[in-house]
């Protein structure tokens, strides 16, 4: 049986720092939540919005939300309008937890 204390609900992550697992990828802060994606926003004056599939989430360490996103991925997630389900369903791959759209694993590493 899975320990429910090892998970966090997505709604609790609003305002948290978001980073890519590749060194130096700054995604800003979690700004909004969609059914299949997380909206992060980076910058103070000129703000960049990223619509990142929940399927790309790796872990939450209690402070930072980590995504499997590289610097090269940023342009395909940078946009002003929400994606369709079909646009981001392609990111669902084997091994992605079936409940990724509602909660995320908490992990220190």
Backbone angles phi, psi at 10, to 5 degrees: -55, -35
The pLDDT of residue 18 is 96
Mean pLDDT, 10 residues at a time, over the chain (109 residues)? Answer: 67 93 90 91 91 90 91 91 83 72 70
Element (H, E) at 88: helix 85-89
Query: What residues does each domain of the chain span?
Result: 4-105
The pLDDT of residue 20 is 93
Fold topology of 4-105: SH3 type barrels. (2.30.30)
């Amino acid at each position: 049986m899975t320990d429910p204390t090892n998970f966090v609900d997505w709604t609790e992550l609003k305002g948290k720092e978001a980073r890519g697992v590749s060194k130096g990828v700054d995604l800003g802060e979690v700004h909004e939540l969609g059914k299949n994606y997380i909206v992060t926003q980076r910058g103070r004056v000129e703000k960049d919005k990223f619509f990142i599939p929940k399927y790309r989430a790796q872990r939450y360490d209690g402070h930072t939300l980590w995504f499997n996103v590289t610097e090269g991925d940023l342009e395909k997630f940078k946009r002003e309008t929400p994606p369709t389900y079909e646009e981001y369903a392609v990111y669902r791959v084997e091994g992605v937890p079936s409940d990724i759209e509602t909660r995320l694993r908490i992990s220190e590493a």
